[in-house]
């Protein structure tokens, strides 16, 4: 076998692994417990796959791209939380952290993935 053939054979499982890893990241690999109160879900970067509204509220809550409650502001909002029951697609990146503040009467959980840590060698 020549080098090109061996290289192609080696690259196939790597490509399948990378595809599976990307699919898992986009689907969300962490689901939070259900919260009725404000919570800091992460202080790292990542991706919101979806939000599950388990109890509807009288007003929407919001998801914020920040690391603490002191940084919550209109400028850090990345998505509203719907006021009716069911799953809501997120499909948004966050680069600072993830804060979830349910609206009045809401019970919600989030499915998200954290950005893999880069290792330098």
Name the token pair of 63: 């998801």
Q: Which residues contact 97 (CB under 8 A, 6 or more apart)?
A: 40, 41, 42, 43, 44, 45, 65, 66, 67, 68
Q: Which domains does the chain have, with CATH numbers?
A: 28-114 (2.60.120)
- Model confidence, pTM: 0.83
Q: What is the pLDDT of residues 46-104, one digit of tens each?
A: 999 999 999 999 999 999 999 999 999 999 999 999 999 999 999 999 999 999 999 99
Q: What is the pLDDT of residue 72?
A: 98
Determine how many CB atoms are found less than 10 A away from the CB of residue 70.
7
Q: What is the pLDDT of residue 56?
A: 95
| Contact status, residue 121 vs residue 84, Cβ threshold 8 Å | no
Q: Hey, CA dihedral for 96, 91, 80, 32, is it positive or negative? A: negative
Diameter over CA atoms, the chain? 67
> Using DSSP, how many helices (H) and how many strands (E) does the chain show?
1, 8
CA dist 62 and 27 (Å) reads 20
């Amino acid at each position: 076998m020549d080098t090109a053939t061996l290289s192609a054979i080696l690259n196939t499982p790597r490509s399948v692994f990378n595809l599976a890893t990307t699919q898992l990241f986009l689907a969300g690999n962490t689901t939070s417990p259900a919260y009725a109160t404000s919570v800091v879900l992460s202080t790292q970067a990542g991706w919101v796959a979806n939000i599950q509204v388990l109890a509807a509220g009288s007003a929407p809550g919001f998801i914020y791209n920040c690391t603490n409650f002191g940084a919550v502001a209109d400028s850090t909002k990345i998505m509203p939380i719907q006021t009716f029951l069911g799953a809501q697609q997120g499909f948004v990146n966050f680069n600072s952290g993830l804060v979830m503040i349910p609206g009045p009467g809401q019970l919600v959980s989030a499915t998200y993935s954290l950005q893999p840590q880069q290792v330098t060698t």
